[in-house]
């Protein structure tokens, strides 16, 4: 019995020294762009652009069709996807709203702000299928960039959403509460009382 209490007290003391990362994204500049490329003698690019600068992370999409800043009237169907960042899991979800027919879709977040001293260390695809083209991913310490491109035009699949994991390096870890130390000490003190009975 004594070994059990000593083991429990030791374990709680060790837990008090473990640090847990807690980097949450609180704001950023959200962008999306769709491009259709015409060929031939009068070949040109036609683009729609969405932008929401210094957007606070909310419960729901940070970039929507209401954030359109450029519409090319050449398009017959405008492809558009909402960008929804979850600051708890640090995942970005691309949600198709209109399907369109495009050659390039780009989504990116710049000037990412954290609730502590952290930075982006990577981005990876968790789920894809919204677009029948593999995405190209890149990042910097405060930005991520996602690009889909094809020589033939493609549509969004309205039944699919693509999800990306933002990996972070937390330079300011949050220690577990010191209450664990007090609990360990309290349990340790109970043992001598029990032995005297």
Shared-domain flag, residues 110 and 40: yes
Shared-domain flag, residues 14 and 64: no
Shared-domain flag, residues 142 and 182: no
Half-sphere exposure of 119 (CA within 13 A, CB side): 6
Shared-domain flag, residues 105 and 93: yes
pLDDT at 192: 55
Shared-domain flag, residues 184 and 144: no
Shared-domain flag, residues 9 and 40: no
Mean local confidence (pLDDT), 79-91: 93
Contacts by 44-49, CB closer than 8 A, 24 or more apart? 46/72, 46/74, 46/75, 47/72, 48/72, 48/75, 48/78, 48/79, 48/80
pTM attached to this predicted model: 0.73
CB-based burial label for 50 (10 Å; 0-12, 13-18, 19+): buried
Shared-domain flag, residues 68 and 157: yes
Is residue 13 over pLDDT 50?
A: no
Mean local confidence (pLDDT), 112-121: 93
Is residue 4 over pLDDT 70?
A: no
Shared-domain flag, residues 69 and 13: no
The token pair that represents 37 in the structure block: 């490329």
The CB density around residue 107, as the number of other CB atoms within 10 Å, is: 24
pLDDT at 39: 65
Mean local confidence (pLDDT), 143-160: 92
Secondary structure class of 5 (helix, strand, coil)? helix
Shared-domain flag, residues 124 and 29: yes
Give how many domains the chain has, as a whole number.
2
Residues whose CB falls within 8 Å of the CB of residue 18, separated by 6 or more in sequence, listed in order = 175, 176
Cα 129 to Cα 101: distance, rounded to the nearest angstrom: 16
Shared-domain flag, residues 53 and 79: yes
Shared-domain flag, residues 115 and 185: no
Of 75-89, 90-104, 168-182, give the range with the top mean pLDDT: 90-104
The token pair that represents 155 in the structure block: 């549509």
Identify the weakest region by mean pLDDT among 115-119, 120-124, 161-165, 168-172: 168-172
Mean local confidence (pLDDT), 39-50: 75
Give CA torsion, residues 158, 130, 126, 67, to 10 deg: -70
Is residue 171 over pLDDT 50?
A: no
pLDDT class for 125, splitting at 50, 70, 90?
very high
Is residue 89 over pLDDT 50?
A: yes
Shared-domain flag, residues 109 and 183: no
pLDDT class for 190, splitting at 50, 70, 90?
low
Domain range spanning residue 186?
2-18+177-196
Identify the weakest region by mean pLDDT among 39-53, 110-124, 134-148: 39-53
């Amino acid at each position: 019995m004594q070994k059990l209490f000593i083991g429990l007290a030791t374990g709680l003391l060790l837990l008090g020294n473990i640090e847990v990362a807690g980097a949450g994204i609180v704001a950023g500049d959200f962008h999306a762009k769709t491009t259709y490329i015409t060929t031939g003698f009068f070949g040109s690019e036609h683009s729609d652009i969405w932008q929401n600068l210094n957007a606070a992370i909310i419960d729901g999409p940070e970039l929507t069709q209401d954030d359109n800043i450029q519409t090319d009237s050449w398009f017959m169907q405008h492809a558009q996807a909402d960008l929804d960042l979850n600051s708890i899991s640090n995942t970005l979800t691309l949600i198709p709203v209109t399907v369109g027919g495009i050659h390039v879709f780009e989504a990116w977040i710049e000037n990412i702000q954290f609730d502590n001293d952290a930075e982006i260390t990577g981005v990876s695809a968790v789920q894809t299928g919204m677009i029948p083209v593999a995405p190209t991913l890149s990042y910097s310490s405060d930005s991520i960039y996602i690009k889909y491109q094809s020589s033939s035009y493609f549509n969004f699949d309205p039944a699919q959403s693509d999800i990306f994991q933002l990996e972070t390096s937390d330079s300011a870890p949050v220690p577990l509460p010191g209450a664990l130390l007090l609990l360990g000490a309290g349990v340790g003190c109970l043992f001598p009382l029990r032995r005297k009975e």
